[in-house]
Every structure is written in structure tokens, then in C-alpha cells.
Amino acid sequence: MTRLFGTDGVRGLANETLTAPLAMKLGAAAATVLTRERSSGGRRPTALIGRDPRVSGEMLAAAMAAGMASKGVDVLRVGVIPTPGLAFLTDDYGADIGVMISASHNPMPDNGIKFFSAGGKKLPDDVEDQIEAAMKELAETGPTGTGIGRVIEEAPDARERYLAHLKEAVQTDLAGIKVVVDCANGAAFEVAPKAYAAAGADVTAIFNTPDAYNINDGSGSTHIEQIQAAVVEHGADIGLAHDGDADRCLAVDAKGNVVDGDQIMAILATGMQERNSLQDNTLVATVMSNLGLKIAMREHGIELKETAVGDRYVLEELGRGEYSLGGEQSGHLVVPAYATTGDGTLTGLLLMARMAETGKSLEELASVMQVLPQVLINVPVSDKAKIMDSPKVQEAIQIAEAELGDSGRVLLRPSGTEELFRVMVEAADEEQARKVAGQLAAVVAAV
């Protein structure tokens, strides 16, 4: 049977596969599981619910709140907030459960539900499995009278608490840095510009007027060309592009050149190494990171630990070794000293702080790493599970690896959130990478 939870919570087409009744049931089951071993301490369990601005979030947040309240959990709805803000607030309010309603960088019709435990930490697989199991065993009725949870519709100070946290985390004065920020008409439309301005930067915000329907629409980190053009137009020092729930950040230098998550990690890792704050001289990244990152880290005496694709695997490795920096090429970076999950606004602050501290441009800082040509093709498929079992796909991989030799690599993997299979090829020559990737993608599409 297909698992309800994917690599980043539960996602689907809102009101078709991800419905209000499903959200209500998920809320009731999560309330049951996540408060099972809780010591009451004289108060009822509490949950925080946040969302991005997409229209279906209003419906799903209401259903989630109803499901949780039906199991005796008090719910505080914090409105539109970035995912990392919701994670922070879960800890800051001392809540037992955090829920973020967002499909991140996915198109507006999609939505998703992410859960956080006390302390603002993502759930391990086994706890998600318990929630799925609990959904099948839910009683039709719950507590009555005073046992029913309360739902408070709006936390008046939620965004202010999160902004204060960001200001405390990065105290470097950013005066003199001119930044353009693409908010993707998403959850950071208010928070990101305010956080950058509070740190002293000269801020121009674009795509910062969400209307419930325009999230990620031709904007944000998945449409980097918008911030490239805007940086050049405004004569800015740096551009920052977030996704719909603002757990990602990609950058653009003053010339409009993209600085991706790998390069940002290289910049921050070498800076932390200089300050002796890079635990065990180790950076955590996924197998999708560019070979250039591995080479750059080796040259600086920094060990690169690789994980499977997905921020949960990066988080697990960070926790296992108590490391201080990790992330993904997509711009999803985690700095455990300040956040329990990826935080795009924090990443932007740290990157600009490095510029301010060194007096170097983003282009100069990014030169710490040479990006090798990397081609990624997303292939729509009807059944992700059968791709790697195909003899034709295996044969195509062997042929590709033989052609590339030691100068490149091939990586095929299913998307964790969409019906896509990702084909990635790296090579010393971009033309060769494109050719090999195209050949592999054609084989995958034919399966």
C-alpha cells in the first residue's frame, strides 16, 4: 500500500487528493500520537498551525484545527508564516505539536501538511507511520464538554517573535548592502524584507503581494530569471530568491550570475572554518550536490558527508554528528545553532553577513568553488516505483557511466513530492552532460 507521508510530509492536489476530511483525520491522528506520552503538567496539549498564502491553506488549516481540537488539543493559529518560522514558534511557544500547511515550491493548486514535534523538530519515519496507523483506528467520538480543545484564530505576536529571533541570530550590520528579494508571493512576503531591513540592508522586494492564487507563479527560487533581471535593473549587490514557504534561498550576484545552494554552503562553511565554528571541520550535503563542492571542501580541509536526497536526511546526519552546517543544492540550508530546519531568510542574512564581514562581493565569495556542468531533467512518469527495476534503465545507466568515466557521474532518483523521476548527469563538458542526460531521460520516459 502507498505510504501517505512522502519525503516532506503529506502532499497532493488540494481538494482532490488532499481534502479537508483527510486533513481533519490527520489532525486527530497526529494529536493522538504526538501527545500519547506527554506529561500534562496541569495543562492541555497545544498545537500551532501556520500556512503559506495559497487559497486552499485556509480550508486545510481550519480542518486540521478541528481534528486536533476534537481530540482535546488547544490550537493556536499563527496565520501566514514561513515553515522555519512555524518550527521556531513551536519551540518558542512551548507547543507540543507544530503543523505547517504548505506545498513549498509546488504550484498553487497543490498543498501539503508538515508536522513538527515539541521543540520544532520534523518527525522521523516511524512516528509518521504511527500517525498513519492511528488514522485507521480513530474513534468516531472524542472528549466532550470542557475536554474539547479551544481554537484561537490568530497569534498577535507570532511574526514579531520570529523576526526578533532572526535579528538575534545574525547581528552583523548589513548597512551598505543593496539587496533585491523575490518573495515568490509566498510565506516570506512580509518577514524576509523586514528581516533584511532590520539588519541594515537597503531592501527592494519583488513578488511580495500574495493574493491566494499567485504563489510561486513565475517567481521565486524556481524562476530564478526574475531575480537575475531585477538585480541588474536595480544595481543591487545581491539578489535573494525564496520559495513558497521560505525554507529555501538561492542567490544572484551583482552581475546576475546564480549562486546556488552548493556555492552558498561553500561560502558559509569556509567562513565558519575561519571562525573555528565548523564542528569537526565537516559539512553535510546530499548526493545531488555538485562535484565542485566536494573538490572545494577537500582543498580547504573540510570533510563532506553525503546523505540521501531530502532535508530530513541532512537533519539526521547533522544531529548524529552534532555538525554545524548542512544543506542541499536547492538552497535548503540548515544551521542547527539557530534553526531546527532549513531557513531561507536566515540563509540570506548569513550570506550578506559574510559579504559585510569580508568586504568582498558575492561573486568573489562564490569563487571558492568551481561549479562543474550539471544537467538535471525531470521526467514525468506514471509509476516511480518501477523505473529502477527496468533492465533497459539499468543498461542505459551502465552505458552512460562507461562514457563519462572518472570525469562525471550519473544519478537517477524519484521525486519525493511529485510524479517525476529526476535524471542528473555531471561531466567536465556541458555538451556531453546534456547529451547523456537526454539519452537517459528518453529511456526513463519510455518505461
User: For the ranges 37-41, 132-136, 140-144, 405-409, which has the lowest average pLDDT?
Assistant: 37-41
Q: What is the share, in percent, of the chain residues with pLDDT greater than 70?
A: 99
CA distance 400 to 437: 9
Q: What is the share, in percent, of the chain residues with pLDDT greater than 90?
A: 87
Q: What is the pLDDT of residue 214?
A: 98
Catalytic choice (56, 70, 102, 104)? 104
For the cut 60, the answer to whether the pLDDT of residue 391 exceeds it is: yes
User: For the ranges 40-49, 68-77, 236-245, 390-399, which has the lowest average pLDDT?
Assistant: 40-49
For the cut 90, the answer to whether the pLDDT of residue 120 exceeds it is: yes
* pLDDT tens digits, one per residue of 262-302: 999 999 999 999 999 999 999 999 998 998 898 899 999 99
For the cut 60, the answer to whether the pLDDT of residue 1 exceeds it is: no
Q: In angstroms, what is the C-alpha Rg of the chain?
A: 22
CA distance 261 to 285: 10
For the cut 70, the answer to whether the pLDDT of residue 39 exceeds it is: no
For range 85-100, the mean pLDDT: 97
Average pLDDT across the chain, whole number:
95
Distances (CA, A) of 234 to 179, 225, 238: 9, 14, 10
Q: What is the pLDDT of residue 288?
A: 87
429 is known to lie in a ligand binding site: no
* pLDDT tens digits, one per residue of 167-209: 999 999 999 999 999 999 999 999 999 999 999 999 999 999 9
For the cut 70, the answer to whether the pLDDT of residue 41 exceeds it is: no
User: Where are any strands of DSSP class E within 184-274?
Assistant: 202-206, 238-241, 250-253, 258-259
Q: How confident is the model at residue 68 (pLDDT cuts 50, 70, 90)?
A: very high
For the cut 80, the answer to whether the pLDDT of residue 21 exceeds it is: yes
The residue among 7, 99, 4, 82 whose CA lies nearest residue 417 is 7
Q: What is the pLDDT of residue 309?
A: 83
Take residue 21 and report the three cell numbers written for it.
476530511
For range 110-131, the mean pLDDT: 95
* pLDDT tens digits, one per residue of 337-389: 999 999 999 999 999 999 999 999 999 999 999 898 989 999 999 898 899 99
Q: How confident is the model at residue 415 (pLDDT cuts 50, 70, 90)?
A: confident
How far apart are the two ends of the chain, measured CA to CA in Å?
A: 22
Q: What is the pLDDT of residue 102?
A: 98
* pLDDT tens digits, one per residue of 309-334: 888 899 999 999 999 999 999 999 99
Question: Which H or E run includes 265?
Answer: helix 261-274
More confident residue, 429 or 244: 244
324 given a catalytic annotation? no
Q: Helices 261-274 and 291-299 meet at what angle, rounded to 10?
A: 10
Per residue, what are the HEC states of 164-186?
HHHHHHCCCCCCCCEEEEECCCC
243 is known to lie in a ligand binding site: yes
For the cut 80, the answer to whether the pLDDT of residue 252 exceeds it is: yes
289 is known to lie in a ligand binding site: no
Q: What is the pLDDT of residue 63?
A: 98
Q: Are 216 and 244 in contact (CB under 8 A)?
A: yes
Domains of the chain, each with CATH number or no CATH: 10-156 (3.40.120.10), 161-366 (3.40.120.10), 374-446 (3.30.310.50)
The residue among 188, 194, 258 whose CA lies nearest residue 226 is 258
* pLDDT tens digits, one per residue of 200-243: 999 999 999 999 999 999 999 999 999 999 999 999 999 999 99
User: Where are any strands of DSSP class E within 52-177?
Assistant: 74-80, 97-101, 110-117, 121-122, 151-152
Take residue 142 and report the three cell numbers written for it.
472524542
For range 14-29, the mean pLDDT: 98
For the cut 80, the answer to whether the pLDDT of residue 406 exceeds it is: no
Q: Are 285 and 262 in contact (CB under 8 A)?
A: yes
CA distance 170 to 193: 15
